[in-house]
């Protein structure tokens, strides 16, 4: 049940992220370039690989296909998201996350690091359970389980968005910019 739940939460989060990025495919490189972690010429291939990886995991996680490998890859991806966010935060880089593509200006911080680490741990535990022979197969996706997983995934995005809006308002007020 835990493995199914963590798979659904991760799949919904990754689906929202992939759809956001795919909505403006010509601007995908703009999601990666501001981080300065890869040479400019690699920004588009890295962005495409990221979106394809998210899309593949959206299918693999809830289907149970690829078992513990899918959980492990998803855990590694969320751990990488947390690490990049921590690195950018440490260097004082106020780069938008690019989580939903080039559109929304979500600013990430300690909250997003914590959420990504929590999901990485849940997925790593799930990978271990599945690899050790824990049988997740045959467990029906009940309405309650689906609704709970989708709700938690939506809360994840809502929390990040709300934190970004609050931070932007505080920054505007601190610089003397009031309401327009």
CB-neighbour burial class of residue 127 (10 A; exposed 0-12, middle 13-18, buried 19+)? buried
- What string of pLDDT tens digits covers the 180 residues of the chain? 556 777 777 888 888 788 877 877 667 777 777 777 888 888 888 888 888 888 899 888 888 777 788 888 988 988 988 888 888 777 666 666 667 665 556 666 777 788 888 888 888 887 777 777 765 444 444 444 555 555 676 677 677 667 766 766 676 677 766 554
Write down the pLDDT at residue 106. Answer: 66
Write down the pLDDT at residue 68. Answer: 80
Residue extents of the structural domains in the chain = 2-174
Q: In b/e form, how buried is each residue of 147-179, taking b as 16+ CB within 10 angstroms?
A: eebeebbeebbeebeebbeebeeeeeeeeeeee
Cα–Cα distance measured from residue 72 to residue 138, given in angstroms and rounded to the nearest whole number: 21
Cα–Cα distance measured from residue 105 to residue 107, given in angstroms and rounded to the nearest whole number: 6
96 backbone dihedrals φ, ψ, rounded to 5° = -60, 150
Write down the pLDDT at residue 180. Answer: 47
Structure-block tokens of residue 80: 């990488």
In angstroms and rounded to an integer, the radius of gyration of the C-alpha atoms of the chain is 17
Write down the pLDDT at residue 103. Answer: 59
CA contacts within 13 A on the Cβ side of 22: 13
- Supply the pTM of this predicted model: 0.72
């Amino acid at each position: 049940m835990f493995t199914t739940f963590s798979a659904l939460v991760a799949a919904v989060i990754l689906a929202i992220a992939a759809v956001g990025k795919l909505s403006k495919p010509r601007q995908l490189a703009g999601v990666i370039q501001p981080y300065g972690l890869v040479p400019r010429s690699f920004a588009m291939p890295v962005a495409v690989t990221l979106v394809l990886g998210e899309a593949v995991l959206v299918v693999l996680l809830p289907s149970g296909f690829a078992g513990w490998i899918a959980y492990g890859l998803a855990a590694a991806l969320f751990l990488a998201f947390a690490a990049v966010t921590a690195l950018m935060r440490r260097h004082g880089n106020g780069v938008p996350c690019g989580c939903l593509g080039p559109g929304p200006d979500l600013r990430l911080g300690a909250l997003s690091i914590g959420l990504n680490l929590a999901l990485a741990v849940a997925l790593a535990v799930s990978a271990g359970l599945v690899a050790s022979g824990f049988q997740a197969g045959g467990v029906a996706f009940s309405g309650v389980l689906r609704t709970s997983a989708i709700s938690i995934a939506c809360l994840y995005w809502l929390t990040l968005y709300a934190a970004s809006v609050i931070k932007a308002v505080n920054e505007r007020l601190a610089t003397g910019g009031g309401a327009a």
